[in-house]
Each structure stands twice: as C-alpha cells, then as structure tokens.
C-alpha cells in the first residue's frame, strides 16, 4: 500500500507540473495576449501587432517547455538523461523562436510594402532573404547549444558553397540581378512597363529568380532577372502616372482650319471631363503638323490618368469627333491623289 501511494505521488507531481504549465500557456494566450492584441490594435504602429501575433502562436509551447525543464531539474534524473532532455528541449525552444522571428520579419515586410514606396516590388525577394538569414542563424545557435563546433562546418560550407555556386551560377546571377533592379528602382510592383523585347504589362512580382509581368490579356510573362537587367525599360508610372495622348486627324484642304480647331478642342474638352480615366483639369489642344496627299493633318493632345486609360479615351474621342464633324460639315477625306496632265501645244 505504501508502494502504491509512493508511485501515485511520483506521478501526481510531474503530471501537475505539466498540466499547470499548459494551463498557464492557455491563460497567457487566450487572456493576457488577447488583451495585449487589443491594445496593440489601438496604436498606429503595426509592429506591435505582429509581435503579439507571433508570440501568441507559440506561447503555449514555450510554457510547456518551461514546465518540462522544471520537471527535468526537480525529478532527480541521471546526469546523462537530464543533459540529453535539456538539450532536446533547448533545440525545440530555439527552433520555435526562430520560426516566430522569421514570421515577424516577413509580416513586417508585408505590412511596410504598403507604406514604403518601392518596397512592394521587393516583397518576395526580401521575404526569402529574411527567412534564409533567420533560419541560418537559428541553426547555428542550435549547433552551438549542442556543442557542435561550427568552424569545420563553416569551412565545409565554404568549399561546398563554392561548388554549389558554380552549379547554381544561373540562379545566383538572377538573384543578384534582382537585387540590382531593386537598388536601381527600375521597376516597382503595379507599374505598367514596356520592354525593348516587346513585352509590356503590369509588374506583378519580383522574386529571387524572375520578374512576373501581367499583360493586358491577363497572361503572365516570366522574365529572368538577368535578362530584365539588360533590357531597355519604359516605365509609364515614372516620373508621374499620367501621360499625354496624341491622336492624329486629317481634314479636307477646303476646310476652315479655325473652325476645325475650335470644334476639335470642344470635343476633346468634353471627353476630358466625361470619360473615366481622363485628367479632368487638363486643357486639350491641337497642332497642325503636315500637308498630306489628300488632307491637312494635325495632332490632338489629350491626357490620361494611367497608361491603360488612353484606350477608352481614344475610343470615345474618335466616335464623338466623327459625329460632330458630320454635323458641322467638316470632311475627313479618303486617301486620294490628284493627277494634273498638261497638253503641250503643237
């Protein structure tokens, strides 16, 4: 009977410590950290929300690890057993902290891409750099905690890294080309660009290997970063997203050019004020440019808020201008040529 009570007592104490540590973890997660999360949401600083979220996802594990550590230290285990158990527990805790820190880093980048101009285009690349850096440091700390000498490991990694670098030369070239593009701010996510290769569209992502461009048709063009770095890029978002539109028009030689100018500007002004995507306060103008074979040509200058807005503006302008010219009796001639024949006198 005494043996049974002793066995029960030996089970009750460890069980109580484990249950207590789990309960404390749940209390911290569901009460304390929920309260802290509520306070963090009331601040303008987003970083505190990210930290609380990362801690909340791991606090139960950390509390349980603390309980197990107390259990190891108080239960009179043999030196070897206690040492191995402590190291295993330390590896678990360090790894969980590493995961939490990596989560904080990536979520911080995800948030600040909406705040810092130009960061959005680097989101994928920066996230990968943060993950690799944090996990590498975490692994080195774990190895150091296990008393594994990292000097030979670093030497081996250096030699192996050289071999891997030669094998992954293409990948590394794309990686550093991506960093070069980011540093030069040649392209930013959301910009509409046209490349000297003929490809054009919205920059959707810039990752460690390639840049993804979404065309107006909705297709993805994936361009290796090293290729993009060597191309001529026309960025329609810089220095400003709005752009001028030139529409060439031709009228009959017998037209009253003053009347043509007045009516054309009236139509263009209506388009600027009515069509979505047109710059409302822009004052359109026309400039006569050349004498053609069958018409006098001029350019109508309008302005769009973004590159893709020009298509609807041109569409509506051409329709409305044709209708107005027909009402005003202004002729847009068909291409013709007049041949004059002279008869020499006998």
Give CA–CA dist 72/271, Å, rounded: 79
Using left for φ > 0, alpha for ψ between -120 and 50, and beta otherwise, residue 135 falls in alpha
CATH of residue 321's domain is: 3.30.70.100
Residues 15 and 139 both lie in one domain? yes
Residues 76 and 57 both lie in one domain? yes
Q: Is residue 2 part of a domain?
A: no
Which residue range is the domain that position 48 belongs to? 9-148
Q: Is residue 54 part of a domain?
A: yes
Residue 2 scores a pLDDT above 50: no
Residues 114 and 42 both lie in one domain? yes
Q: How far apart are the two ends of the chain, measured CA to CA in Å?
A: 150
Neighbours of 36 (CB within 10 A): 17
**From residue 155, how far is each of 101, 134, 152, 169, 235 by CA, in Å?**
27, 20, 5, 20, 45
What value does the mean pLDDT of the chain take?
80
| HEC string for 197-259 | CCCEEEEEEECCCEEEEECCCCCEEEEEHHHHHCCCEEECCCCCCCEEEEEEEEECCCCCHHH
Q: Is residue 280 part of a domain?
A: yes
- Give yes or no for a contact between 95 and 140, defined as CB atoms under 8 angstroms apart: no
Residues 133 and 250 both lie in one domain? no
CATH of residue 205's domain is: 2.30.30.60
Q: Which of 204, 235, 266 is the last residue of a domain?
A: 235
Residues 199 and 323 both lie in one domain? no
Which of 89, 96, 120, 263 has its CA nearest to residue 191?
120
> For residue 202, how far is the Cα from the chain centroid?
11
Residues 139 and 181 both lie in one domain? no
Express each pLDDT in 144-193 by its tens digit: 777 766 666 666 566 555 555 555 566 667 777 777 777 666 677 788 88
Express each pLDDT in 250-296 by its tens digit: 999 999 999 999 999 999 999 999 999 999 989 999 999 999 888 99
Write down the pLDDT at residue 169: 63
Q: Is residue 156 part of a domain?
A: no
Write down the pLDDT at residue 345: 53
Residues 117 and 142 both lie in one domain? yes
> For residue 147, how far is the Cα from the chain centroid?
41
Residue 128 scores a pLDDT above 60: yes
Q: Which of 99, 132, 148 is the last residue of a domain?
A: 148
State how many domains the chain has: 3
Residue 306 scores a pLDDT above 80: yes
Tokens standing for residue 202: 């919205």
Q: Is residue 335 part of a domain?
A: no
pLDDT, average across residues 124-148: 79
> For residue 265, how far is the Cα from the chain centroid?
41
Q: What is the per-residue burial (b if ≥16 Cβ within 10 Å, else e) of 242-258?
A: bbebebebbbeeebeee
Q: Is residue 168 part of a domain?
A: no
Residues 119 and 188 both lie in one domain? no
Q: Is residue 159 part of a domain?
A: no
Write down the pLDDT at residue 243: 87
Residues 126 and 213 both lie in one domain? no
Residues 119 and 64 both lie in one domain? yes
Residue 136 scores a pLDDT above 50: yes
Residues 32 and 143 both lie in one domain? yes
122-131, 136-145, 202-211, 220-229 — most confident range: 220-229
Write down the pLDDT at residue 318: 94
Residues 144 and 29 both lie in one domain? yes
- Per DSSP (E only), the strands in the chain are 192-195, 200-206, 210-214, 220-224, 233-235, 243-251, 285-291, 296-304
- Give yes or no for a contact between 178 and 225, defined as CB atoms under 8 angstroms apart: yes
Q: Is residue 165 part of a domain?
A: no
């Amino acid at each position: 009977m005494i043996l049974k009570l002793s066995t029960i007592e030996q089970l009750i104490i460890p069980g109580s410590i484990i249950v207590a540590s789990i309960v404390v973890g749940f209390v911290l997660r569901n009460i304390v950290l929920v309260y802290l999360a509520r306070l963090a949401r009331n601040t303008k600083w987003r970083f505190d929300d990210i930290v609380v979220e990362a801690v909340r996802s791991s606090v139960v594990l950390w509390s349980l690890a603390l309980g197990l550590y107390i259990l190891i230290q108080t239960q009179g285990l043999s030196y070897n057993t206690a040492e191995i158990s402590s190291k295993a527990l330390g590896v678990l805790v360090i790894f969980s902290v590493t995961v939490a820190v990596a989560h904080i880093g990536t979520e911080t980048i995800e948030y600040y891409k909406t705040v810092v101009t130009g960061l959005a285009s680097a989101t994928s690349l920066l996230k990968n750099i943060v993950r690799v850096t944090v996990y590498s440091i975490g692994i080195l700390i774990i190895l150091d905690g296990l008393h594994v000498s990292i000097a030979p490991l670093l030497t081996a990694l250096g030699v192996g890294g050289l071999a891997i670098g030669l094998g992954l030369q293409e990948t590394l070239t794309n990686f550093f080309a991506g960093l070069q593009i980011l540093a030069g701010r040649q392209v930013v996510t959301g910009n509409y660009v046209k490349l000297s290769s003929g490809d054009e569209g919205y920059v959707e992502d810039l990752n460690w290997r390639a840049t993804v461009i979404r065309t107006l048709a909705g297709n993805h063009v994936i361009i290796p970063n090293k290729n993009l770095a060597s191309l001529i890029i026309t960025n329609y978002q810089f220095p400003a997203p709005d752009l001028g539109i030139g529409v060439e028009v031709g009228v009959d030689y017998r037209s009253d050019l003053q009347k043509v100018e007045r009516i054309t500007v009236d139509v263009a002004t209506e388009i600027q004020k009515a069509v979505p995507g047109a710059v409302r306060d822009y004052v359109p103008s026309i400039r006569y440019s050349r004498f053609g074979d069958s018409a006098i040509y001029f350019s109508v200058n309008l302005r769009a808020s973004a590159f893709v807005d020009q298509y609807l503006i041109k569409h509506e302008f051409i329709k409305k201008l044709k209708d107005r010219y027909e009402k005003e009796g202004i002729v847009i001639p068909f291409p013709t040529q007049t041949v004059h024949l002279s008869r020499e006198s006998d």
